[in-house]
Amino acid sequence: MAEVLAFVLYFVAMLGIGVFFFVKSTSNDEKDYFLGGRKMGPWVTAMSAQASDMSAWLLMGLPGSILAFGLGQAWIGIGLAIGTALNWVFVAKRLRKFSKAAGDSITLPQYLSNRFATANPALKIICAVVFFVSFTLYVASAFSAGAKVFADLFPALGIESAMIIFALIILVYTFLGGFNAVCWTDFFQGLLMLVALLAVPVVVATTQELDTSALATITANGIEYPFETNLFNASWKEIVSGLGWGLGYFGMPHILIRFMSIEKPSMVKKSATVAIIWVIITLFAAIMIAYFGRMVIGAELLEKGAQELVFVTLARRLFPGFIAGLLLAAIIAASMSTADSQLLVASSSFTSDIYKPIIRKNASEKEILWVGRIVVIIVSVVAYFIASSKGSGAQAVMNMVSNAWALFGAAFGPVVLLSLFWKRFTYKGAIAGILAGAVVDLGWFMYLADTGIYELVPAFIVGFVACVLVSVIDKAPSNEVVAIFESATDNSIDD
């Protein structure tokens, strides 16, 4: 009962944030709804970016994989930590300034088009379509993950009821409050995730008897689970692929949009510090949960094939009901903070990059705002049916979503980086890079996945090379494009 009370209070708080920003809003401006009017402070920007990045994978998938197979699995976490730091240090401030200089852009596709001062909608449409489709699938994946956790915690609900409740809560506060509500809910969810991830390993280490023999091989259901305790005993393919995950950050729209929303470029340094500390602490804590969990309940979980529930099991055993309920709400928070961000980016991409410039060029700000809200509903409904469908088709969709990180990173990462650092970069080079990165990523996944190398790594390299080669062959950028670059790199301006 105490766990239920904790969950109810948590969800009421999240809905309250959405209602608050709906009532508070006095603007019918799409920039306010989709980008928070560029008024996000450094703490909210940092926590929102990291919470929207880390899904339930941080509290379930990563610890479960490490518990079963050893610390070699931690290279993905290391790659993500390095990628996070590089993204904040090299991309965040420049993207904030470039997006402002490039026509005060409010979406990533809009920025990439405005950066090259072109009226050609091709790049914007390509980006928007990829975003809309991919993020609908991403949201479906988040609905599925959130509902599974919800149903595990409250078996009486059933998976369908759990998914409906989970989806409705996200839909309501995103629909009402837009970017402000999403960022502020992500801020509190990020704090909750941090507290939960720190509390569990600290209490385990100080109160439980640790069976170090469990760090040897555990045999469960006829399967041997050796535990590798040395990170550097991993193969070079595992290390390269794990580090390669970090490349994905440079092309992640739901993270990059946070950089564009911060109030002033000068605030980025504080945000970067907060974000980097947060991601290092949480990833390290997740690894420690797996390490200690292996020694305390490893055999029990592996026997059930339930290693992903290491955090859930430890939280329930170590803490009283209400506190355990709050800690377990962190898993739901992780799923929600990812789904709401992806839902809003899918909506903004369609509304600002397809509906307004192509379907209804003379649409008013109020109309754009409400079309965006309607798209939020449509995406949610489609994502719900995808997530709740049964059979191999649904499973195939979920498998495709698991590779969307690589697709985004390979297609858009090189383009974003070069747009920020290379004055000679051209519009045709950007299109070539997006297409080359996407094609190689999909081709590698379909035909060369058995090489053991994560498809993002070769696809990112090919996309980068394509950007450079086509830009060098293409004619030099116009004076207008050069002026945008020079304005954005003027260090005396801090708007």
Q: Which of the two residues, 63 and 460, has the higher pLDDT score?
A: 460
N-term to C-term CA, the chain: 50
pLDDT value for 397: 42
According to DSSP, the residues that pair with 40 across neighbouring strands are 262
In this model, does residue 96 exceed pLDDT 70? yes
412 within a domain of the structure (yes/no): no
pLDDT value for 179: 63
Instruction: For residue 179, give the CATH number of its domain.
Output: 1.20.1730.10
Average pLDDT for residues 465-477, to the nearest whole number?
Answer: 97
pLDDT value for 31: 55
Average pLDDT for residues 312-333, to the nearest whole number?
Answer: 85
Average pLDDT for residues 420-425, to the nearest whole number?
Answer: 96
pLDDT value for 400: 52
Average pLDDT for residues 353-362, to the nearest whole number?
Answer: 78
Percent of the chain past pLDDT 70, that is, above it, reads 90
In this model, does residue 392 exceed pLDDT 50? no
pLDDT value for 398: 43
- Give the number of other CB atoms < 10 A from CB of residue 252: 26
442 within a domain of the structure (yes/no): no
419 within a domain of the structure (yes/no): no
Which one, of 141, 144, 139, 172, lies nearest residue 159 by Cα? 144
Average pLDDT, the chain: 83
Say which range, 87-96, 154-163, 306-315, 461-470, has the weakest mean pLDDT: 154-163
Which one, of 7, 18, 30, lies nearest residue 364 by Cα? 30
pLDDT value for 394: 41
The pTM is what? 0.86
In this model, does residue 278 exceed pLDDT 80? yes
Which one, of 476, 206, 147, 174, lies nearest residue 332 by Cα? 147
Please give the tally of structural domains in the chain: 1
Contact (Cβ atoms closer than 8 angstroms) between residue 408 and residue 109: no
Write out the residue range of the structural domain in which residue 155 sits: 2-390
461 within a domain of the structure (yes/no): no
List, for residues 5-35, the tens digit of each pLDDT value.
Answer: 887 787 787 777 767 766 666 555 555 555 5
In this model, does residue 139 exceed pLDDT 60? yes
In this model, does residue 395 exceed pLDDT 60? no
Q: Which of the two residues, 190 and 470, has the higher pLDDT score?
A: 470
In this model, does residue 151 exceed pLDDT 80? no
Residue in the block written with tokens 């599974």: 148
207 within a domain of the structure (yes/no): yes
- Under the banding of pLDDT at 50, 70 and 90, the label for residue 393 is very low
- Under the banding of pLDDT at 50, 70 and 90, the label for residue 181 is low
Say which range, 203-217, 225-239, 328-342, has the weakest mean pLDDT: 328-342
Max avg pLDDT among 280-289, 330-339, 345-354: 280-289
pLDDT value for 466: 98
414 within a domain of the structure (yes/no): no
pLDDT value for 186: 76
pLDDT value for 396: 42
Average pLDDT for residues 136-162, to the nearest whole number?
Answer: 76
- Under the banding of pLDDT at 50, 70 and 90, the label for residue 353 is confident
Percent of the chain past pLDDT 90, that is, above it, reads 31
pLDDT value for 251: 92
In this model, does residue 457 exceed pLDDT 50? yes
Say which range, 106-115, 133-142, 275-284, has the weakest mean pLDDT: 133-142
Average pLDDT for residues 439-461, to the nearest whole number?
Answer: 92
In this model, does residue 141 exceed pLDDT 70? yes
423 within a domain of the structure (yes/no): no
pLDDT value for 173: 67
211 within a domain of the structure (yes/no): yes
In this model, does residue 223 exceed pLDDT 90? no
In this model, does residue 467 exceed pLDDT 60? yes
Q: Which of the two residues, 245 and 41, has the higher pLDDT score?
A: 245
